[in-house]
Structure 1
Amino acid sequence: MIEAVGLTKRYGDKTAVYNLSFQVRPGAVTGFLGPNGSGKSTTMRMILGLDNPTAGTVTIGGHPYRRLPNAPRQVGALLDAKAVHGGRSARNHLLSLAQLSGIPARRVDEVLGVVGLQDVAKKRSKGFSLGMGQRLGIAAALLGDPQVLLFDEPVNGLDPEGILWVRNLMKALAAEGRTVFVSSHLMSEMALTADHLIVIGRGQLLADMSITDFISANSADFARVRTPDSDPQLREKLSSALTEAGGRVLPEQDGALRIMGLPLPRISDIAHDAGVRLWELSPHQASLEEAYMRMTQGAVDYRSTIDQKSGLQQPLPPGAQPPMPVPGQGQPGWYAPPPPQAGGQPPTVPQGPYGAPAGASPAGPAAGQPNPYAQAPAAPQQPAAPAPAAPPAGGAPAPAPQTAPQPAAEPKSEDAR
């Protein structure tokens, strides 16, 4: 059994835990709940002797953790699944812990099989996923076959099959008479796993009761009643009769009635006496999440605000959009393709020698440069060069046509590529 009496822990001006007293009894799974920063991890560290309390005491089986003989064989804990040397294999990590506590090596292989890591026992832990790391941490907690177990977020990173396995494991450990203390933020999982709850907020105790009592004490139970939709007068008649009997009646959005303050048998008797036929009479009880939120709403330190996105990116007025740059525009030989022709046909581009646009040099690309005409006519084009002039009298050859200079080393634009 774990027992805390007046437990207090201060870090300078901050009080993490204040005057906390509770008991964690064997034979049941006790859930440890509270908002972020409420002091859950600090409390677990004080239980395990990792932090010294400023005031108060906490004992395991009547003794402080540091005074327990061979404590790892009496208490198993999972506080941080990442607290493993990444260069060690899973088996070597557990083997080193076993040797320090006098645990036989065969137990290492047993717990590896229990947590399902026998096939990766020789792999280094630095390559483990978050869920595999959680399984290795649980194996370390089970290594000494202890009677007291503490788990901090044991299902973090596990898949649905792994979550179900952890749930069944904790229930089985508690059924064997062990003390199981589990901290978690998953309310749905705690509702299925825990038998008892200890809830703290801002370092102080808020609740210490069974999960059934906790939900009943922090939720408004009510009954749903539905009458035939074809006769609204019956609903009004029933509402009046229930109000006269001391019930509180509220309309639901779907046409049903929410009844508070009257048990279901009494509601049924009132409807029968009033001659009202019922289509539905069902109880409603809040979930653990609803009850938890109601209990801790005043102890939450970190609250979200509305994301104010308006005004961060104001659109430019029409006509003020900056012009998009056109690669190569304004350079010698820049070619702007004409608009598409009717019928969606591609524009006609003047062709020169070798299939290149008219005006391009027929000598081809320079060495090491991509061919800008490999995907013509999408490549940048040049205006057509003037046709050669007729030879003058006397048979002298006409001068060769001049083309726009194109440096071979000039990098091509994205359109040319």
Structure 2
Amino acid sequence: MIEAVGLTKRYGAKTAVYNLSFQVRPGTVTGFLGPNGSGKSTTMRMILGLDEPTSGHVTIGGHPFRRLPNAPRQVGALLDAKAVHGGRSARSHLLSLAQLSGIPAQRVDEVLGVVGLQEVARRRSKGFSLGMGQRLGIAAALLGDPQVLLFDEPVNGLDPEGIHWVRNLMKTLAAEGRTVFVSSHLMSEMAVTADHLIVIGRGQLLSDMSVKDFISANSADFARVRTPQTEPQQREKLSSVLTEAGAHVMTEQDGALRVTGLPLPRISDLANDADVRLWELSPHQASLEEAYMRMTQGAVDYRSTADQLAGFQQPQQPGGYAEPVAQQGWYAPPPPQAGGQPPFAGAPLPGGPGYAVPGQAPGGPGYAASGQAPAPGHNPYATPAAPAAPPAPAAAPAPGVSAPAPDLTKRDSDSPEDAR
């Protein structure tokens, strides 16, 4: 069991933790929640003896961490998954920790299999992904088979399969009678993993209760009631009846009624007595995230503001492609096509509407304006004839210089060679 009594920690003029008292009992997964800067990491460092409290004390099994005999075999912790020498392999890292604590090498291979790193055990940790580093940190925490475990953001960087595995691992450890203390910002995971919650804000205790009690204490449960949409008078009638019975009724945007102050059976009886048909009558309970936000809304230190440049950029087409401005007689390529189709696929066919022959000036020979067909009898592929010029007299070759060889690539169109 972890027990903190009057725990206070100051760094100069800043008080990170103030008069914090709580207990983390074995056999349950205890979640440790709080906004950024609330003192969670400082508290966990004081539990592990890494920081000395300014006042108060914290014990594990009745003893301060520094006085525990062979502490790594009694307490396992994951505070920073990056606290690994990048040049060491996963197995070498764990083997060095095991040798310092008198743990047999066989246990190293066991925990590598537990966290799923047996295939990369001999790879250097500097090449590990964030999720692989998390698994290695969890393996280090499990190395001594401890009875007390502390995890700070254990699912950070893990894929869905890894998150599911960590969730089941913590539940299994707690079911074995161990003390499991988990700090996380993922409310969805805490809702399905933790049995008990300790919530702090600005270094002070805000809540210490079960997850179910925490949600009930920090949320307003209500009933959602819906009547036929085609009969708005039924909704108005029911609203009046429920209000007279002492309920507080609010109309939601979709036309449903949010009713508080009356249990569901009573709402059903009143609707039946008033001859009002109900399309929906369901209870609503806030999620852990909603309850947490309501509890900690006054203890948040870092709040975002509206972006002053929001909407400043001109709207673009999906994919960031700006629609080109069409010009008379010029062809603009269409946006990239889905499925890898070339961007010029579907261009206007030669001679069709909107096709401009390359190299022709607008309005010149062979030019077809956008949306117009070429002139009858005109070949858009024909090269416009150049202005006739008087033939230049053939120059005699200079003395000692042979005449240029004839171009053999030019043939008469009527020659047999060209016909072939």
On whether the aligned pair clears a TM of 0.5, the verdict is yes
Look up the match of 1:35: 35
Q: TM-score, normalised by structure 2?
A: 0.77
Partner of 2:141: 141
AA aligned opposite 2:237: K
Aligned to 1:25: 25
After superposition, the Cα gap between the structure-2 partners of 1:339 and 1:347, relative to the gap in structure 1 and judged at 3 Å, is farther
TM-superposed deviation, 1:348: 5.1
Once the two structures are superposed, the pairs formed by residues 399-414 of structure 1 within 5 Å of their partners are none
1:199 paired with 2:194, answer: no
Paired with 1:6 and 1:346, the residues of 2 have a C-alpha distance of: 91
Per-residue CA distance 1:160-210 (angstroms, 9 max, x = gap): 000000000000100111100000000111101001111111111111111
Cα offset, 1:387, TM superposition? 7.8
Q: Tell me how far 1:308 sits from its aligned partner.
A: 1.0
Alignment of 1:162 onto 2:162: yes
What's the offset of the Cα at 1:346?
7.4
In structure 2, relative to structure 1, the CA distance for the partners of 1:243 and 1:78 (3 Å cut) is same
Residue 299 of structure 1 corresponds to 299
Quickly say closer, same or farther: Cα 1:350–1:19, change in 2 above 3 A: farther
* Alignment correspondent of 1:288: 288
> 1:111: which partner in 2?
111
Q: For 1:350 and 1:97, locate their aligned partners in 2 and report how far apart those are by CA, in whole Å.
A: 87
Cα distance in 2 between the residues matched to 1:99 and 1:37: 36
1:259-280 Cα shifts (integer Å, max 9, x gaps): 0111112112222222222221
Counterpart check, 1:342 vs 2:367: yes
Which secondary structure state, in structure 2, belongs to the residue aligned with residue 18 of structure 1? strand
Shift of 1:388: 7.7
User: Which residue number in structure 1 is paired with residue 234 of structure 2?
Assistant: 234
Residues 225-246 of structure 1: CA distance to partner in whole angstroms, max 9, x if unpaired? 1122333222222111111111
Distance in 2 (alpha carbons) for counterparts of 1:143 and 1:350: 88
Distance change in 2, residues 1:177/1:342 (3 Å): same
Q: How many residues align?
A: 343
TM-score (norm 1): 0.77
In structure 2, the residue matched to 1:222 is 222
Q: State the alpha-carbon separation in 2 of the partners of residues 143 and 349 from structure 1.
A: 85
SS class of match (2:91): helix
> How do residues 91-110 of structure 1 correspond to structure 2 at under 5 angstroms?
91-110=91-110
Structure 1 counterpart of 2:50, which letter?
Answer: L
- Equivalent residue letter for 2:176: E
Deviations 1:22-47 (A, max 9, x none): 11011100000011111100000000
Where in structure 1 are there 5+ consecutive unaligned residues?
A: 315-336, 352-383, 398-417
Work out the CA distance in 1 between the residues paired with 2:271 and 2:296. Answer: 38
User: Match for residue 150 of structure 1?
Assistant: 150
- Paired amino acid for 2:214: F
Contact kept in structure 1, 2:38 and 2:203, CA below 8 Å: yes
Shift of 1:288: 0.7
2:6 corresponds to which residue? Answer: 6
Compared CA separation, residues 171 and 347, structure 1 to 2 (3 A):
farther
CA–CA distance in 1 between the matches of 2:56 and 2:184? 25
Q: Conserved in 1, the CA contact under 8 Å of 2:361 and 2:367?
A: no
Match of 1:258?
Answer: 258
- The Cα offsets for residues 88-109 of structure 1, whole Å up to 9 and x where unpaired, read as 1111111110110011111111
Report the 3-state secondary structure (helix = DSSP H, G, I; strand = E; otherwise coil) of the residue aligned with 2:38.
Answer: coil
Q: Is the 1:75–1:149 contact (alpha carbons within 8 Å) kept by the matching residues of 2?
A: yes
Q: Is contact 1:339–1:347 with CA below 8 Å preserved after alignment?
A: no
Q: Give how far 1:252 is off.
A: 1.6
SS in 2 for 1:23: strand
List structure 1 segments (4+ residues) > 4 angstroms apart after TM superposition: 310-314, 344-351, 386-389
Query: Match for residue 47 of structure 1?
Result: 47
Offset of 1:254 from its aligned partner? 1.7
Q: Is the partner of 2:237 in helix, strand or coil?
A: helix
SS at match of 1:342: coil
1: distance between equivalents of 2:137 and 2:285?
A: 36
1:338·1:347 contact (CA, 8 Å) conserved in 2?
no
Q: Structure 2: how far apart are the matches of 1:306 and 1:215? A: 30
- How far apart in 2 are the matches of 1:175 and 1:298? 35
The residue aligned with 2:67 is: 67
2:145 corresponds to 1:130? no
Q: Is the 8 A contact 1:34 1:296 kept in 2?
A: yes
